Chains A and B, each alone.
Chain A
Amino acid sequence: MTSIFLNRKATRLNFEFSEEQNQLRDQAQGFLNDNCPPAAVRKVLEGDESYDKQLWQSIAELGWLSTVIPEAYDGLGLTYYELVVIAEELGRALAPVPFSSTVYLATEAILQFGSDEQKQRWLPRIARGESIGTFAFGEGAGRPSPKSLQTVAGTNSISGSKYPVPDGDIADVAIVVVKCDAGDGVSLYLVDLQGVQRDAVATLDPSRSHARLTFSDSPAELLGVAGAGWAMTNQLLDRAAVLFAWEQVGGAQAALEQAKAYAMDRYAFGRPIAGFQAIKHKLANVYVKNTLARSNGYYGAWALAEGNAELALAAATARVSATQAFYFASKENIQTHGGMGFTWEFDCQFYYRRAKLLSVNIGSESWWQDRLITAYEQSNQVQAA
């Protein structure tokens, strides 16, 4: 599964996934069609389980958790092109598993900022599906900042409360954003969650679980440099934004397909409602937003995979675009279904719930719009144009 995405040695212009990556997409899609149908999402949404354990185990066996983890840490050592392909398919299937917390956030943080010892300890366990990870950032309503954070560090310990933490009820390890007096006012801590108090928190999308984590002098070790935590958090968010964006692109595409399929088979006034311009134009507009989001996702994937200096700008662009596309597709999917779309029995709600959850998961649309303009101000494009 080697990438020739924008390969300098490629024989042709290339802004597309490679044949191997497209094969991976087909395999992932086939696997998730069989193992993660809407009924599996509904089971977690309606049931007591925090996530689909069987699906999680299968995903671990397929190696998806270790896609970008280097071979030295028992990973597959593939590229971010493969990871975005998987992200898109998980988003399409609305997979009820802690993949984003574990892979886009915890793994990324440890990979980017961890010591070799920390990598040795956690990455192989994550790769094998033995450990679930998460990123504990927010502390209640409002946009977190170095000034707003209340969680503090002692000597090799932290105290405070993080709320809500995605997958906080099931995670084994968390990267916690902690206030400090040095540097940019923030440090990151790696915390083994054994013994930490967790209280489940209900959200609008119960197919993904959340919790409040309460740390009281809980053992914790520094991740990366003390007082550089805000910069690291922002780097981490940029990287994760590209991956979240691909989940959102996948979900938006699935919502469009569901709306179209319903409209083709739903008759009113003697013909399929898909034949009315009110519906055609609605879904064409969904298609337009989805296409722009996907193309911006390519830009983000490229910047992430190539380690390009434009990553902050590319990530924000992909994220804003994908957030808007998924929200739009999910609400217009319900609208296209009419009253049935508003029933519990229909699956339209899954996309609508997930779209909103993902849009606030690592920062709202307006936050990322702001980050986009900040990144543009700092890029060299202002003068260049």
Chain B
Amino acid sequence: MDFNDTPAEAAFREEARAWLEANAPSAEELQGLDEIARSKLWQKRKYDAGWACIRWPKEYGGRGATSIENVIWGQEEGKFSVPGGVFGIGQGMAAPTLMEWATEDQKREHLPKLASGEHIWCQLFSEPAGGSDLAAARTKAVKDGDDWVINGQKIWTSGAHYSDYGIIVLRTDPEAQKHKGLSYFFLDMKSPGIEVKPIKQISGGANFNEVYFTDVRVPDSQRLGAVGQGWQVALTTLMNERAAIGGGGGGVGFNRVFRLAQRLTIDDKPAIEDSNVRAKLANWYCQETGLKYTGYRSLTALSRGETPGPENSIGKLVGAAKMQDMASFAMDLCELSGAVQGEFAEEYGMYPGAFMGAPGGRIAGGSDEIMLNILAERVLGMPQDIRPDKGIPFSQIPTGANN
């Protein structure tokens, strides 16, 4: 589209593109390396050349670039098939929290290692008893000398099995009200007493883990914010989560399914000539472009120095459901073959995979229902839900059989 850069932005884009063309790793270079090794190789290369985490200040390993330059960089890097992924939580969520709440020494120690890819971080927020209700965390920390001693369990922790550090929200005062009895720490994931167990997902993968804590010690110096201020610190992380988690096209975009409908037939005619197929595709096109141009409007706001607000929640909300429906529809177009995966699958074999992954997209990083609450409360200004857990000590809040 005619979405034009200013001369300065165009020059920056050119510089970024030239560097990427010269330095993006080739397939041969990456051959034989696992996902983590590939990601680390690429991250280190970017870091050494000043192209890692470019929006961060230089003293923390960044480039001191503007928000809009960061967007341009993301667009250009996205055109290359480069490894990434494993640093998203550390760079996108832990780092902004450290920048706001850590000491200067801690920032200088940890941020450059996040930028260079030397360290991978994970996020230990959700618990069996608190998914959408994050402030219901029960995992306890008890002060013992200069340390805190942690006991309990976290869940849905992406990448816990290969992470070096984690950010964690802990219950430090069960007698205080729910949101006031939490404290926020970062800790070494190799600490004694941490046990990581992978969770097999319905999609077959195991990106998530359960993480058990048995008398794990974390120094008080690794607390971020005051004791009891953990919820406030967690909000910094969560605000960045929605920015870090994208719309989730997962490869099943409009154009792919459109072309599928051109190739397959219904009653001996191209499926694309069927009016039902056309109507459905038209609706998805409207959603896809609607999100795209909503994004353009956010970029315009960003470029003007405004902060795009919670209205960006619609990206994941619309994108994840759309991907689920499109994957399902693509399989319908293939009829029974649509169900085939694995070695007998034709080129259409990706759709069952997308279909099985899609439910996760609608839950991770704020479920559809949480997103709708955010839009209703923070954009439309409607009242918060009634909360029976308000104003009473955490230890007295009722729980059920499924907690």
Chain A interface (Cβ < 8 Å from any Cβ of B)? 6, 8, 10-16, 260, 263-264, 271-272, 274-275, 277, 279-281, 283-285, 287-288, 291-293, 295-296, 298-299, 302, 306, 308, 316-317, 320-321, 324, 366, 368-370, 372-373, 376-377, 381-382, 385
Contacts and interface: CB of A to CB of B under 8 A. Distances in A.
Interface centre among B9, B281, B380 (most CB of A within 10 A): B380
Interface string B292-329: 11101101110110000001001001100000000000
A382 B318 CA distance: 23
Contacts of B297: 15-16, 295, 298
B6 A10 contact: yes
A321 B4 contact: no
B382 A14 contact: no
Contact of A287 (B272, B299, B303, B379): B379
Q: Is the interface of A mostly helix, strand, loop or mixed?
A: helix
Contacts of B379: 284, 287
| Contact-residue size bin, chain B (C-beta under 8 Å from the other chain) | 35 or more
Contacts of A10: 4, 6
Contact of A292 (B255, B287, B386): B287
Contacts of B381: 260
17 contacts: A6-B3, A6-B4, A13-B3, A16-B304, A260-B382, A274-B383, A280-B373, A280-B377, A281-B372, A284-B371, A284-B372, A284-B375, A284-B380, A291-B290, A291-B314, A295-B296, A373-B258
A14 B292 CA distance: 14
Contact of A288 (B292, B293, B375, B382): B375
B290 A11 contact: no
A381 B275 CA distance: 21
Given A369-B283, A382-B255, A295 B294 contact: yes
B278 interface: yes
Contacts of A382: 255, 258-259
B286 A296 contact: yes
B315 to A, nearest CB: 10
Given A292-B290, A369-B282, 14 more contacts: A8-B4, A10-B6, A14-B300, A16-B300, A264-B383, A275-B386, A291-B290, A295-B296, A324-B286, A366-B279, A372-B278, A373-B285, A385-B253, A385-B256
B285 A292 contact: no
B289 interface: yes
Nearest to A16: B300
A298 B380 CA distance: 22
Nearest to B259: A382
B329 to A, nearest CB: 14
Interface centre among B3, B287, B372 (most CB of A within 10 A): B372
Contacts of A372: 278, 282, 285-286
A296 B293 contact: yes
Contacts of B253: 385
A12 B290 CA distance: 22
A299 B1 CA distance: 10
B376 interface: yes
A208 to B, nearest CB: 26
A376 B386 CA distance: 47
Contacts of A284: 371-373, 375-376, 379-380
B328 to A, nearest CB: 19
Nearest to A264: B382
Nearest to B4: A8
A279 B385 CA distance: 11
B35 interface: no
Nearest to B368: A281
Q: Which 5 A-B pairs have the closest CB atoms?
A: A292-B290, A280-B376, A369-B282, A295-B293, A385-B255
Interface centre among A8, A15, A260, A316 (most CB of B within 10 A): A15
Contacts of A298: 293, 296-297
